[in-house]
Amino acid sequence: MGVQGLTGFVEERGVFFTELRVRDTKLVIDGSSLYHRLCLAPDADFRRGGDYGAFVQALGRLGVPFVQYFAEADREIAGLANLWGCPVLSLDSDFFVFDLAGGYCPLSHFQWQSVRAAAGPQGRYVPARCFSAERFCGHFGRLSKALLPLFAVMNGNDYIGLEALEAFFSKVRLPRGCAAGRGGKHLRLQGLLKWLAQFAEPAEALDNVLKYLKKHQREEIRELLCTSMEDYAPSEVNLEDFFQNGSYECEAARKADVPQWVLDALAKGKLAPFVINALILRSTFLRVQVENMQRPSAHSTALPIRQVIYGLLLRVSHSTEGASPSKQTNELPTVCEFDRCQKTLKKTFVQAASLPPDFCDDRFPLDKLMEVPTSCRQMLLLETLGVKMSFLEPFPSHLQLPVAVTCYWTRHSEPKVKLNQLKALLLMIVSGELQRITNDPDPTVLPAEDDNIAYNEFLKWKEKKLENNDFDLDAAHSFCQWQCCLQMGLYLNQLLGTPLSEPDLSRLYTGTLVHRLYQELKSAPSVENLFILSPKMAQLYLVLLNTVES
């Protein structure tokens, strides 16, 4: 993310930061950066599939207002922060370039785990460091902040490479011996900043850059640089409207003809970006987990679910302008999927699924999908996962989708799921249910003492040192397949307006736990009786096992 080499350049010097005590203020947090920061936490065991309890669904439980934006959100983050006059919290070096009224706090300098108490009436605060654009520009003479976007695009960011400007860097005399090839990337950064400082405003600087290029290239490069610099102007989209009214106006979404209910659901986190990428870009990127690279991607197991998602999103494309009558009626649309093939990235065109008649009815295009009867939407979900509602009725509503996904997984995984892998997964689900009824009991139900006893015994078991902590790659691959099936099952359920209740992911999957259960089941089968002290949980496990096996 961001401007190449800029974070290292700024961090090396350190003088561009001011100390900040964060308290009693709004804070605009870049969710993507926060997600990746948590993913890279040193105590996160991602070799075993991660522990969902650390990042996912936490915002909703904590009541933190958030918006999931339609596209790249840097400009919108900057615009909202300037509207509120508060800092931006991120790890994206693009925010060194934006003109931010409240400043930019890198997540790496936001010590949220070290909250301190201030002397006097101020109260507690989070120690942080805030980047000062004024200090940064002052370090390079009279460099205007207005020139920072030109500096960013000339140095190369997410959208423009350096190749187009190599002629400039090979000919220009950068100050103090900073020419290309003499001291590395940071010297070039420093030299470019000092060279730009001689100009009062971007247009003058840009004219001087173009002088070093061939005449036939100049207008094309001017247009490219000017367009790229616009990405550093705070957006005029008013995201405050969303936090006040639950929706916002987005010109880009209107141009892309995105139905309003899709845009609203995306903003509220009720649809995943995966859905928008498939709808607008006709392409998706399937993230690689820690799996057996000699086998097909774990995502291949969930391919039929993705095809149904694509069918729902793209069925309107049958009547595209200019298509022949035969293509309009017979040819299904495709989506370009990027996935791994062994250790390389492979592009595959996947055909959307043909849908049942109810979903091909012209009365129900995508913008009217929620008008399809709930029973029909539920039926499509269950048929895709290959289960009947009668199989799911014995389970609490929040476990019905995971049970359906687990049934699907056992039928579609290759190689076949081993019995101990299935048992470990179901025991993990039961542990989450036991935690739920123990820690967040239903106030209308009298708590059972045996549930508390069983939960305490489970906690004691977790504290015991595992004798065999070997990493089983084949088991990891199988559990990765389950996660892929769950992910796409969730996405399909969301797209259909949640005909089945959404599960609490933080209590549903814990990678370290499921791997431990699997290892112990191989050496000590008695661990299958882990919850025997709670008749309710022991019964739940048996019903789960019998349902999935049947």
pLDDT tier, 160 (very low <50, low <70, confident <90, very high otherwise): low
pTM of the full structure: 0.85
pLDDT of residue 122 exceeding 90, the answer is no
Highest mean pLDDT among 237-246, 323-332, 427-436: 427-436
DSSP 210-239: HTTS-HHHHHHHHHHHHHHHGGGSPP---T
pLDDT tier, 320 (very low <50, low <70, confident <90, very high otherwise): very low
The pLDDT of residue 322 is: 40
More confident residue, 146 or 158: 146
Q: How far is CA 53 from CA 63, 143, 283, 448, 497, in A?
A: 16, 46, 29, 25, 24
Q: Are the C-beta atoms of residues 418 and 525 closer than 8 Å to each other?
A: no
d(CA 233, CA 118): 36
d(CA 316, CA 262): 15
d(CA 450, CA 22): 45
Kindly state the average pLDDT of the residues 342-350. Answer: 95
**pLDDT over 70 for what percent of the chain?**
89
pLDDT of residue 1 exceeding 60, the answer is no
More confident residue, 400 or 43: 400
Mean pLDDT estimate for the chain: 87
From 37-41, 134-138, 269-273, the region with the lowest mean pLDDT: 37-41
Between β-strands 116-117 and 283-285, what pairing exists: parallel, antiparallel or unpaired?
A: unpaired
The pLDDT of residue 325 is: 41
Q: How far is CA 244 from CA 26, 66, 258, 485, 501, in A?
A: 15, 12, 22, 36, 27
Phi, psi angle pair for 270, to nearest 5°? -90, -5
Please provide the distance, in angstroms rounded to a whole number, between the alpha carbons at the two ends of the chain: 48
